[in-house]
Amino acid sequence: MSGAAYVHASVHDAAAEISTPGRLLLVECEDCGLRQTIPSRVEDGHVDCVRCGALLSKRTTRGVEQAIVLNMTALIVFVLANAFPFITLNLQGRVQNAEIVSAAYALYQDGMWELGILVLLFAIALPLVKILGNLYVMIPLHMGVRPPAARFVFRWMELVHRWAMMEVFLLGVIVGYVKLISLATVIFGIASFSFVALIILVVAAETFFEPRTVWERLRPSPPASALASIDPKELISCHGCGLLNHTVGAHPHCERCDAPLHHRKPNGVARAWALITTAIVLYFPANIYPVMKLNFAGAKQGATILEGCKELLFGGMWPLALLVFFASVTVPMLKLCGLGFLLVSVQRRSKWRLRERTKIYRIVDAIGRWSMLDIFVLAILVALVRFGSLATITPGTGAIAFAAVVVTTMIAAESFDPRQIWDAAGANDER
Ligand SMILES: [Zn+2]
Ligand SMILES: [Zn+2]
């Protein structure tokens, strides 16, 4: 019997059993590779991996319907947040407004189109795509209809989610505000309050929602009992939707979401090394060259990341100086050292503290996005401080190198497969 025929047959069983409480599904932990069972219904409990502590399933009683309401509200608030001025600067009677999109446009106008595109993607486009993508899949599902290409759209939502950084942008606005209050009068517009509401709605939609609810509606997983007789080596966990597929033959694809299947992320260690090396090389220009150029009444001056922190520190804003220093200097360093350490330990087949090393990976993966803070601060300052010879801020070359460090380290963390920490120590040898 072929693999495809097998999975189809067990899905049929699963459909019959879907409403039976207590049915168990077999899943593979994405962080350590241990296979274990979880209850099929998300109402039945919060499940952490017994070996590494990774979250396997959230307990939630709120389903697709509540996620639709939150995403719909978020869509309305998104329009408000983008239609009105976010922040207004008043310098000696001259007024400059900035919408979120003008922060991206200002970078483009000053010749840094690469940074403009990053800000546009991370602060506006991807958050919008995420809301629209969720609604596209969930509204028809709620009405009992399966929308075209639902599995592709929902699989891409996971990736979009990683790169949507509204909360980091908001922090950037706050830092920008503090930097400007000594220079001019700064007023928050209606859009800034909408933006805060938008972040709260999006976080709520994520917190109360388990994506498995949608995956199980698109195609139920076979019960664990149906997989028990299969050779474990023929089962591959899908990176896209988490389904354990029974695979036979070359280049298999997931039965549920059509993602290409791999036992581990392909060439994870080599790709992560290549990206880390690139990031280390870029780290030098990022810190040596100015990230912004200031022109106040004819006096021109460049400011590197460290000088930006010093300015906040000497202005008495030490909590913010620490925050910017942490996000812009410490986090990239920690990420590079943390990932380098994990890669070396995997190559040396270390058995030392597997659970703690997996935690290091989770931290490295989670904190990376916050380094975009300085780029968002720059975008806000460039968009607002445009008063000709009186006061102007323009982006510097260091900013491009810095943004490249942030993006390459984020991709490096994503390329590495933490299950290899456990594989290298022989912890997954039983299958
Ligand atoms: Zn685990
Ligand atoms: Zn899949």
Interval between CA 253 and ligand 2 midpoint (Å): 8
Give the tens place of pLDDT for each residue, 387-426.
Answer: 888 888 999 999 999 999 999 999 999 999 999 999 999 8
Q: What is the mean pLDDT of the chain?
A: 88
Nearest ligand to the C-alpha atom of residue 255: 2
Interval between CA 68 and ligand 2 midpoint (Å): 23
Interval between CA 264 and ligand 2 midpoint (Å): 14
Nearest ligand to the C-alpha atom of residue 256: 2
pLDDT reported for residue 8: 31
Nearest ligand to the C-alpha atom of residue 418: 1
Interval between CA 39 and ligand 2 midpoint (Å): 19
Answer left, alpha or beta for residue 427, where phi above 0 means left and psi between -120 and 50 means alpha.
alpha
Indicate whether 104 pLDDT > 70: yes
Interval between CA 123 and ligand 1 midpoint (Å): 32
Interval between CA 152 and ligand 2 midpoint (Å): 10
Count of beta carbons in the 10 Å neighbourhood of residue 374? 26
Indicate whether 7 pLDDT > 60: no
Q: Of how many residues is the chain composed?
A: 431
Interval between CA 53 and ligand 2 midpoint (Å): 23
Distance CA 205, CA 66 (A): 8
Residue 303 in contact with residue 294, Cβ under 8 Å? yes
Q: Which residue has the tokens 């239609």?
A: 83
Interval between CA 266 and ligand 1 midpoint (Å): 19
Interval between CA 336 and ligand 2 midpoint (Å): 30
Q: Which residues surround ligand 2, an ion (CB under 5 A)?
A: 238, 240-241, 243, 254, 256-257, 259
Q: Calculate mean pLDDT across residues 118-131.
A: 96
Indicate whether 10 pLDDT > 80: no
Q: Calculate mean pLDDT across residues 97-119.
A: 91
Interval between CA 55 and ligand 1 midpoint (Å): 8
- Cα-Cα-Cα-Cα torsion 110, 116, 117, 118, nearest 10 degrees, comes to 140
Interval between CA 168 and ligand 1 midpoint (Å): 29
Interval between CA 261 and ligand 2 midpoint (Å): 8
Nearest ligand to the C-alpha atom of residue 51: 1
Distance CA 101, CA 235 (A): 46
Indicate whether 5 pLDDT > 60: no
pLDDT reported for residue 22: 61
Interval between CA 151 and ligand 1 midpoint (Å): 26
Interval between CA 25 and ligand 1 midpoint (Å): 16
Nearest ligand to the C-alpha atom of residue 212: 2
Indicate whether 235 pLDDT > 70: yes
CA distances from 386 to 68, 103, 284, 300 (A): 41, 12, 29, 14
CA 311 from centroid of its chain's CA atoms: 30
* pLDDT band, residue 13 (cuts 50/70/90): very low
* pLDDT band, residue 1 (cuts 50/70/90): very low
Nearest ligand to the C-alpha atom of residue 31: 1
Q: What is the domain partition of the chain in residue ranges?
A: 3-61+220-246, 64-211+266-424
Interval between CA 418 and ligand 1 midpoint (Å): 9
Q: Calculate mean pLDDT across residues 242-256.
A: 88
Interval between CA 31 and ligand 1 midpoint (Å): 5
CA distances from 110 to 179, 304, 383, 395 (A): 20, 18, 10, 7
pLDDT reported for residue 21: 55
Residue 100 in contact with residue 81, Cβ under 8 Å? yes
With helix as H, strand as E and coil as C, how does the chain read? CCHHHHHHHHHHHHHHHCCCCCCEEEEECCCCCCEEEEECCHHHCCEECCCCCCEEECCCCCCHHHHHHHHHHHHHHHHHHHHCCCEEEEECCEEEEECHHHHHHHHHHCCCHHHHHHHHHHHHHHHHHHHHHHHHHHHHHHCCCCCCCHHHHHHHHHHHHHHCCHHHHHHHHHHHHHHHCCCCEEEECHHHHHHHHHHHHHHHHHHCCCCHHHHHHHCCCCCHHHHCCCCHHHEEECCCCCCEEECCCCCCECCCCCCECCCCCCCHHHHHHHHHHHHHHHHHHHHHCCCEEEEECCEEEEECHHHHHHHHHHCCCHHHHHHHHHHHHHHHHHHHHHHHHHHHHHHCCCCCCHHHHHHHHHHHHHHHHHHHHHHHHHHHHHHHCECCCCEEEEECHHHHHHHHHHHHHHHHHHHCCCHHHHHHCCCCCCC
Residue of 339, 360, 363 lying closest to 412 (CA atoms): 339
* pLDDT band, residue 58 (cuts 50/70/90): confident
Interval between CA 188 and ligand 2 midpoint (Å): 44
pLDDT reported for residue 193: 93
Residue 85 in contact with residue 99, Cβ under 8 Å? yes
Tokens of 20: 């039976």
Nearest ligand to the C-alpha atom of residue 53: 1
Give the tens place of pLDDT for each residue, 289-333.
Answer: 999 998 888 788 888 988 888 888 888 788 888 888 998 888 899
Residue of 48, 75, 366, 46 lying closest to 208 (CA atoms): 46
Q: Which residue has the tokens 């000088």?
A: 307
Interval between CA 127 and ligand 2 midpoint (Å): 23
Tokens of 212: 């498995």
Q: Within the chain, what is the greatest distance between any pair of CA atoms? A: 79
Interval between CA 319 and ligand 2 midpoint (Å): 44
Indicate whether 11 pLDDT > 60: no
Q: Calculate mean pLDDT across residues 224-239.
A: 88
Q: Which residue has the tokens 């390459």?
A: 408
Interval between CA 359 and ligand 1 midpoint (Å): 10
Interval between CA 361 and ligand 1 midpoint (Å): 12
Burial of 125 (0-12, 13-18, 19+ CB in 10 A): middle
Interval between CA 270 and ligand 2 midpoint (Å): 24
Distance CA 342, CA 38 (A): 29
pTM of the predicted protein model? 0.88
